[in-house]
Amino acid sequence: MKRTTPPESPPAPTDRSNKRRASPPSSPESPAKRTRPDLHKKRSDSLPANPLFFYKEPRGTTQIATWNVAGLATCNAEKWKFGFRLYVEAEDPHILAITEVNEQDADSVFENDPNFEFLRELYPYRYWAYKVAVVSKHKPVAPPIFGFPNGTRYDPEDGRARCLTLEFETCFLVTTYVPNSGAEFKRLDRRQNWAADFETHLRALDAQKPVIWTGDFNVIRTITPESNETNDLQWPQNMGQAAGTHEIERAAHERLLGKQPWLKNPKRPGPLFVDIWRLIHGPDWRQYTHSSRKLGGWRIDGFILSERYLWRVRKCEIRQEVKKKFWPAKGVVKLGALSDHWPVWLSLELEHL
């Protein structure tokens, strides 16, 4: 019988550990190109050469990537040039948070599908639900939390499919695929129920340890909480017209973030959470993590961190080259690129979470 709800306990880690990380550069100022993992030698002849490469970070840092793959199995299919696998091998993050998994039998994909053997070799700790999954080289210190243990409003089964929390020694990692309000905002009540339970969950975690919140937030931010102006939406005429742009959705998101021009002392403890990509790249820079022909570009994926964890942040980038490299030949597939989202990558000044 196929599994339709998340497992009650985490899958047992495999015995294999990954010790294939390339040696660090002699200094952070002159980084070397990331070397290919040894497992490339095991590729079948059908796997193309990897068109991606990224500069590696120095020793003593941790990298996390998040990607809405719009269906895990198809994202790694041959017709999309095995783009998921080639991206993961090139990026080689310590932790990968995957959203919009969309696998009714995720257990079979993560543990048995031969197309994902590379993932099992790279990541001994793997946790998944129907909509979200996290694979990690670092071992969490506690069993995973699916959904909102103290939730009272949002549908518990769907909550377990969309929110996955892992506890590490120094922080919590929360991965979400946030529900939007639907066409013509017909599911706005559902979105409000999610916001109520999620905010309670996130603040309860933050009271214990700093939080790294990642995944697909499914909401557009404005330049200030009071305005309708935004640099996160390519076609601003869609503001207030499409799911993810409703005032109620935006207000719920901004309650967690608030006004942030005061961020001058990154070690200062505080009650708020910080949009890392926007903090680093400034209020005017435009870059998107999702695109559609109907609605244009959106920035709705990324990393939001507890205020007191900012001093750990090194870099945060949107990997837009991934989509360009894996666009199929004309006439091969009608759906376009392997996903309608781009990966987002975070580097932390921290050897282990």
Domains observed in the chain = 56-348 (3.60.10.10)
What's the rounded mean pLDDT across residues 233-249?
A: 89
Q: Which of 198, 343, 349, 207 is nearest to 277 (CA)?
A: 343
Q: Is 109 helix (H, G, I), strand (E, B) or coil?
A: helix
Q: State the first-to-last Cα distance of the chain, in angstroms, to the nearest integer.
A: 36
Can you spell out the DSSP letters for 237-256?
Answer: GGTTTSTT-SHHHHHHHHHH
Residue 232 is a catalytic residue: no
pLDDT at 334: 55
164-188: average pLDDT? 95
Contact 353, 171 (CB under 8 A): yes
Residue 8, pLDDT score: 43
Q: Which residues share a beta bridge with 175?
A: 164, 214
Residue 124 scores a pLDDT above 50? yes
* pTM exceeds 0.85 for this model: no
- Name the 3-class secondary structure at 190: helix
Q: What integer pLDDT is reported at residue 332 of this predicted model?
A: 52
Catalytic residue among 123, 130, 177, 288: 177
177 assigned to active site = yes
How confident is the model at residue 76, as a pLDDT? Answer: 75
The more confident residue out of 268 and 173 is 173
Distance CA 75, CA 81 (A): 9
Instruction: Over range 82-100, report the average pLDDT.
Output: 93
Query: pLDDT-derived band of residue 141, with 50, 70 and 90 as boundaries?
Result: very high
Active-site residue (options: 206, 216, 232, 301): 216
Q: Which residue has the tokens 């120094």?
A: 170
The annotation places the binding site at 68, 100, 216, 218, 340-341
* Average confidence (pLDDT) over 93-118: 90
Q: Residue 239 — pLDDT band, cuts 50, 70, 90?
A: confident
Report the pLDDT value the prediction gives residue 317, as an integer from 0 to 100.
Answer: 96
- Mean per-residue pLDDT over the chain, rounded: 82
Question: Annotated binding site for Mg(2+), which residues?
Answer: 68, 100, 216, 218, 340-341
User: Which one-letter DSSP state was computed for residue 78?
Assistant: G
Instruction: Tell me whether residue 87 is one of the annotated catalytic residues.
Output: no
- For residue 237, is pLDDT > 50? yes
Which stretches does DSSP call E strand in the chain? 62-68, 95-99, 125-128, 132-136, 145-146, 163-167, 172-177, 211-216, 273-275, 290-292, 296-298, 301-306, 313-318, 344-348
Active-site option among 246, 253, 290, 341: 341
pLDDT digits (tens, 9 = 90+) for 197-222: 999 999 999 999 999 999 999 999 88
**pLDDT of 267 higher than 60:** no
* Residue 25 confidence (pLDDT) above 60: no
Amino acid 159 reads G
Tell me: pLDDT of 46 over 90: no
Sheet architecture: strand order including 313-318: 125-128, 132-136, 95-99, 62-68, 344-348, 313-318
Q: If you average pLDDT over residues 116-133, what whole number do you get?
A: 94
Distance CA 173, CA 195 (A): 18
Rounded Cα gap, residues 347 and 277, in angstroms: 11
The torsion angle over the Cα atoms of residues 9, 14, 15 and 16, rounded to 10 degrees, is -150
Compute the average pLDDT of residues 172-199: 95
Contact 111, 120 (CB under 8 A): yes
CA dist 70 and 353 (Å) reads 28
pLDDT in tens, 244-260: 999 999 999 988 886 65
More confident residue, 12 or 126: 126
pLDDT at residue 278 greater than cutoff 60: yes
Q: Which residues contact 190 (CB under 8 A, 6 or more apart)?
A: 154, 155, 179, 181, 182
Tell me whether strands 145-146 and 163-167 are parallel, antiparallel or unpaired. Answer: antiparallel
What gap in Å lies between CA 161 and CA 100, rounded to an integer? 10
The set of residues, in sequence order, having a beta carbon less than 8 Å from that of 146 and lying 6+ positions away, is: 6, 129, 159, 160, 161, 163, 164, 165
